[in-house]
Structure 1
Amino acid sequence: METQLISSGFQYTTLPRSYIRSEPDRPKLSEVADYHNAPVIDLGFGDRKYIVQQISDACQQYGFFQIINHGVSRDIMEKMLKVSKEFFDLPIEEKMKLYSNDPSKTTRLSTSSNLQKEKIHNWRDYLRLHCYPLDKYEQEWPSNPSSFKQIVRNYCIEIRKLGLKLQEAISESLGLDKDYINNSLGLEQGQHMAINYYPKCPEPELTYGLPAHTDPNTLTILLQDMQVTGLQLLKDGKWLAVKPFPNAFVVNIGDQLQALSNSKYKSTWHRAVVNAHKPRISVATFLCPWNNAVIKAPSELIEDESKPIYKDFTYAEYYGKFWSRNLDQGHCLELFKNSREI
């Protein structure tokens, strides 16, 4: 089988044509400034009301925030990044045992984003894992490196606890009962992970690791490589680089939370750029509604007698529509808007 992975060990000196973006669609790296006022929330502060207010402000003004003192140990975070690097450092023949372009597979190694739909590829390989319930999916995960399953299992358990607590705080920040979001999304709400590997790129100004997109899930909890900056977010029409904060996670609002909040909170447009000198790793955990959960805004968030902004839909309907399109094709939520009477 001919590999399509870019983490094959081959050292590229020029960018293959299939990765080169047209001039208007390039990242224009020299124009990107640092995100100096990116919100950082200390979950260990102790004043619940203050933390909830900070989350409300961040979700409305930025669509994301970073969290510290979140309860996940530094050791677990560092081991997760280390074993991720060890996996992508494996010989290509070993990695290819997990390779698949079938998005329905619950454990798979692949490249770019959506090879079936996209015209220009992205400078990324990734390992996609379903993580909940663990007993159902863990057996599918890589056995090499030998420590992979145990380290990833420990990480997944801690991130799920954190994510459910964050959704409680977000629910409160919307003026709802703290259990509203978790109950709406279903007690068996899903959890996926993408371990992203962005190899050194010979011409990073011509391509992306991932182009601009929003996430189709509820929340994304991102663990960043401390050594290499790559995450950029759109704020007021400008792309800004989010520098990794020590022992922090980046929390992105996803499309489901935008719909559930009746657009009070906006899902974040973000992208990943690549580096000419160093590879970069990130670990994104996605909290997702149960497939049959109906996403709808509660009456408390709908003004007067107006319609909610979005039609009711199930997460399975949304996810299917999302993956039927190219990643940077536009905001999938637009397809679920209610018609407005003028």
Structure 2
Amino acid sequence: METKNVLSSGTKYSTLPETYIRPESQRPRLSEVVDCEDFIPVIDMSCTDRNIIVHQIGQACLLYGFFQVINHDVPKEVIEGMLGVAHEFFKLPVEEKMKLYSDDPSKTMRLSTSFNVKKETVHNWRDYLRLHCYPLDKYAPEWPSNPSSFREIVSKYCMEVRQLGYRLEEAISESLGLGKDCIKNVLGEQGQHMAINFYPQCPQPELTYGLPAHTDPNAITILLQDLQVEGLQVLKDGKWLSVKPQPNAFVINLGDQLEALSNGKYKSVWHRAIVNSDKARMSVASFLCPSDCSIISAPKALTEDGSSAIYRDFTYTEYYNKFWSRSLDQERRLKLFKKVYT
């Protein structure tokens, strides 16, 4: 099977193609996954006491690196529209979708399969549409014109999610004892990307991944999950735990940049996506990223107690180049930026 053949072509497989089969030591061991209903904290953003929200987000970042938010002010119709147009896109004829196909990760819009097929030895059971989203007036005109409503619906969603991301960054900043704008100021004029993920039915899900274990390279990730099919799993205390989707909720996780900015207090946590033998799954991941020239450095307030800075200063461009130079499931890139003390 050529990697250029997208999985959402409608082809039905009775067995997994060889290029997607993981070595036995790298398989997901699905029987060992813990199905924990209340694992990820659910934070109600409508709480009238901001101190409670800040405290809850701080505790979630400290203990889990993941949380879900409800009553987040992103309109329900915007969320439903986003999921609807995502399903419409992946139902298009394969010939139409293939017009957007590329293996070049530097492209600002591309349909691809797996993660970085030029670096991988085993591919991932996923198709995705990758979009740059900010500034919208620069990137949206490049987006698909089929479905006809795609650009309008996705643009509305991107604007709403960006504002939610800002509110979350303010609360995270306050939870660290910093001014509410501190993290936003360090990150600069943040970039915004999106991955619309489609995980087709898989004949042998125990042999492969939708996405293998990884941490996110960006600052913060806002994930919209398919309510019908679970797939996201998070590593906690050496065990993989399944994250149950909540109605009208977003899953939030910290990326490597916020771990560095928090001087290691908050963690960018290993997570993965598994696939399903009965149903396809859809998810929409939005990523807020530092501006390319922002210097990622822990604020002085986090080292005034005499503790040392864990990571050396670096730019997001420097970090991102390291990220794309390797396959997704190699060792954490953030380790490469640790300070060496003599």
Same fold (TM over 0.5): yes
Q: Secondary structure at the match of 1:258?
A: helix
For residue 322 of structure 1, what is the aligned residue in structure 2?
323
1:300: Cα distance to partner?
A: 1.1
* In 1, Cα distance between equivalents of 2:216 and 2:73: 24
**Matched-pair contact (CA < 8 Å) for 2:34–2:242:** yes
**Matched-pair contact (CA < 8 Å) for 2:39–2:243:** no
In structure 2, relative to structure 1, the CA distance for the partners of 1:2 and 1:201 (3 Å cut) is: closer
For residue 89 of structure 1, what is the aligned residue in structure 2?
91
For residue 228 of structure 1, what is the aligned residue in structure 2?
229
**Alignment partner of 1:8 is 2:9:** yes
For residue 53 of structure 1, what is the aligned residue in structure 2?
55
1:7: Cα distance to partner?
A: 1.0
Q: Secondary structure at the match of 2:186?
A: helix
* In 2, Cα distance between equivalents of 1:313 and 1:228: 38
**Alignment partner of 1:311 is 2:320:** no
Which amino acid in the other structure matches residue 291 of structure 1? Answer: D
**Alignment partner of 1:25 is 2:33:** no
For residue 177 of structure 1, what is the aligned residue in structure 2?
179
* In 2, Cα distance between equivalents of 1:282 and 1:233: 16
Q: Structure 1, residues 69-103: CA drift from partner, whole Å, max 9, x if none?
A: 00001111111111101100100000011001111
In structure 2, relative to structure 1, the CA distance for the partners of 1:2 and 1:203 (3 Å cut) is: closer
For residue 133 of structure 2, what is the aligned residue in structure 1?
131
**Alignment partner of 1:297 is 2:292:** no
* In 2, Cα distance between equivalents of 1:63 and 1:248: 17
**Matched-pair contact (CA < 8 Å) for 2:234–2:243:** yes
Q: Secondary structure at the match of 1:339?
A: coil
* In 2, Cα distance between equivalents of 1:199 and 1:304: 50
1:3: Cα distance to partner?
A: 3.5
Q: Secondary structure at the match of 1:221?
A: strand
For residue 112 of structure 2, what is the aligned residue in structure 1?
110
For residue 73 of structure 1, what is the aligned residue in structure 2?
75
* In 1, Cα distance between equivalents of 2:304 and 2:113: 44
* In 2, Cα distance between equivalents of 1:304 and 1:66: 32
**Matched-pair contact (CA < 8 Å) for 1:21–1:207:** yes
* In 1, Cα distance between equivalents of 2:55 and 2:306: 27
Q: Structure 1, residues 125-145: CA drift from partner, whole Å, max 9, x if none?
A: 000000000000001100000
Q: Secondary structure at the match of 1:283?
A: strand
Which amino acid in the other structure matches residue 194 of structure 2? Answer: M
* In 1, Cα distance between equivalents of 2:106 and 2:40: 35
For residue 158 of structure 2, what is the aligned residue in structure 1?
156
For residue 40 of structure 1, what is the aligned residue in structure 2?
42
Q: Structure 1, residues 160-181: CA drift from partner, whole Å, max 9, x if none?
A: 0100111011100110000001
Q: Secondary structure at the match of 2:8?
A: coil
Gaps of at least 5 residues in structure 1 are none
Q: Secondary structure at the match of 1:282?
A: strand
Gaps of at least 5 residues in structure 2 are none
* In 2, Cα distance between equivalents of 1:268 and 1:133: 28
**Matched-pair contact (CA < 8 Å) for 1:232–1:242:** yes
* In 2, Cα distance between equivalents of 1:225 and 1:303: 43
For residue 259 of structure 1, what is the aligned residue in structure 2?
260
Q: Structure 1, residues 56-78: CA drift from partner, whole Å, max 9, x if none?
A: 10000000100000000111111
Dislocated runs of 4+, deviation >2 Å: 1-4, 303-307
**Matched-pair contact (CA < 8 Å) for 1:117–1:325:** yes
Which amino acid in the other structure matches residue 213 of structure 2? Answer: A
Identity %: 67
**Matched-pair contact (CA < 8 Å) for 2:233–2:271:** yes
**Matched-pair contact (CA < 8 Å) for 1:321–1:332:** yes
Which amino acid in the other structure matches residue 312 of structure 2? Answer: K
**Matched-pair contact (CA < 8 Å) for 1:307–1:338:** no
* In 1, Cα distance between equivalents of 2:114 and 2:267: 26
Q: Secondary structure at the match of 2:166?
A: helix
**Matched-pair contact (CA < 8 Å) for 1:112–1:123:** yes
For residue 210 of structure 1, what is the aligned residue in structure 2?
211
* In 2, Cα distance between equivalents of 1:243 and 1:73: 21
* In 2, Cα distance between equivalents of 1:73 and 1:121: 36
For residue 244 of structure 2, what is the aligned residue in structure 1?
243
* In 1, Cα distance between equivalents of 2:305 and 2:201: 53
In structure 2, relative to structure 1, the CA distance for the partners of 1:18 and 1:48 (3 Å cut) is: same
Q: Secondary structure at the match of 2:9?
A: coil
Q: Structure 1, residues 300-327: CA drift from partner, whole Å, max 9, x if none?
A: 1125444310000000000110010110
For residue 201 of structure 1, what is the aligned residue in structure 2?
202
